Homo-oligomer: A and B are copies of this chain.
Amino acid sequence: MDGQSTERSQRLSRAAAQRLSLYLRCVSGWPTDGEKVSSGRIAEAVGVSDAQVRRDLAALGHLGQRGVGYDAQELATAIRAALGIDRPWRAVLVGVGNLGRALLKYQGFRAQGFEIVGLFDSDTSKVGQVVEGLPVEAVSTLAERVGALRAELGVLTVPADTAQAVAESLATAGIRGILNFAPVVLKLPRRVRLVTVDLAIQLEQLAFQVQHGDTANRSTDEE
C-alpha cells in the first residue's frame, strides 16, 4: 500500500470499515466471470443506499468507471488493503471449551487470512491435549509463547470471571488486539485493541428489534 492510500484508509470510520467488510463478503461470494459489479448491486445485497456504497468505495481511490461498474477482483483487493487484511494475521486462542472448539473448526477465519497458531487453557487437565492439530498449552506460559508464535491477535473464549485477568496476560505478552467472547466489559491499555462479541447482547438487540418493529431507527447503518 502506498503512503497516500494508507493515509486515506486511516480516515475510515469504524462504521465505514464495517460496511467495507460486508461489501467484501458480497463481492467474494459472487462468481468472477469478468463481469463488472455495480454499486447498486452491492447496495441491494447489503441493504444500504447506492449513494453510501459509492461514497465508501470512492474513499478507497479510483476504482471503477462511471456507468461501467467495478472489477470484482480489484474491488476485493482494495477493500482488503483498506482493512489491513491484505496480509496474514496470527492469533492465539485462550479457553478451549465448547465455543473455543467451535471457533477452531470455523472455516471462515482461515479463509480471511486469520490463522490460530496456539491454544491455551488454565485447566491443567486440558494442557497437552491436541485439539484440531494444536497442543493445548498452559495460560501461565503466554508471556513467553506469544512472542515465539509471532501472534498479534488473541481470541478470548474463557468464562466471564477470568476474562479480565487473561486479557491482561495477553496484553503483557504483547498481543495487539483481542476478540473477546466473554460477556464482560474489559479494561485494557489503549495500545491493545478490543472487539467484544457478546452473544447475549446480540440476542437482546434482536428481541428489541422484534419488539419495536419498524420504529427502531437504523441510525448506525448509514452516515
Contact surface of A with B, Cβ cutoff 8 Å: 9-15, 17-18, 21-22, 24-26, 29, 45-47, 83-85, 89, 91, 97-99, 101-103, 105-106, 108-109, 111-112, 114, 152-153, 155, 176-179, 183-185, 190, 193-195, 197-212, 214-221, 223
Check B208 against A17 for contact (C-beta < 8 Å): yes
Copies in the complex: 2
Check B21 against A205 for contact (C-beta < 8 Å): yes
Once A14-B217, A15-B220 are accepted as A-B contacts, the answer to whether A112 and B204 lie under 8 Å apart by CB is yes
Q: Which residues from chain B contact A83 at a C-beta distance below 8 Å?
A: 204, 207-208, 211
- Beyond the given pairs A15-B220, A177-B207, 13 more chain A to chain B contacts, judged by CB atoms under 8 angstroms and listed by A's residue number, are A14-B217, A21-B205, A25-B184, A84-B208, A91-B203, A98-B102, A98-B105, A109-B203, A153-B210, A193-B206, A197-B197, A197-B199, A197-B202
Check A203 against B102 for contact (C-beta < 8 Å): no
User: Residue among A105, A176, A198, A216 with the most chain B CB within 10 A?
Assistant: A216
Listed A/B pairs (11) with beta-carbon separation below 8 Å: A10-B212, A13-B217, A25-B183, A91-B203, A98-B102, A98-B106, A108-B183, A111-B200, A153-B207, A176-B210, A179-B202
Distance from A210 Cβ to chain B, minimum over Cβ atoms (Å): 4
User: Residue among A152, A201, A207 with the most chain B CB within 10 A?
Assistant: A207
Q: Which residues from chain B contact A12 at a C-beta distance below 8 Å?
A: 208, 212, 216-217
**A195: nearest chain-B partner, CB-CB:** B206
Q: How far is the CA of A223 from the CA of B220 in the complex (A)?
A: 9
Check B219 against A13 for contact (C-beta < 8 Å): yes
Q: Which residues from chain B contact A45 at a C-beta distance below 8 Å?
A: 185
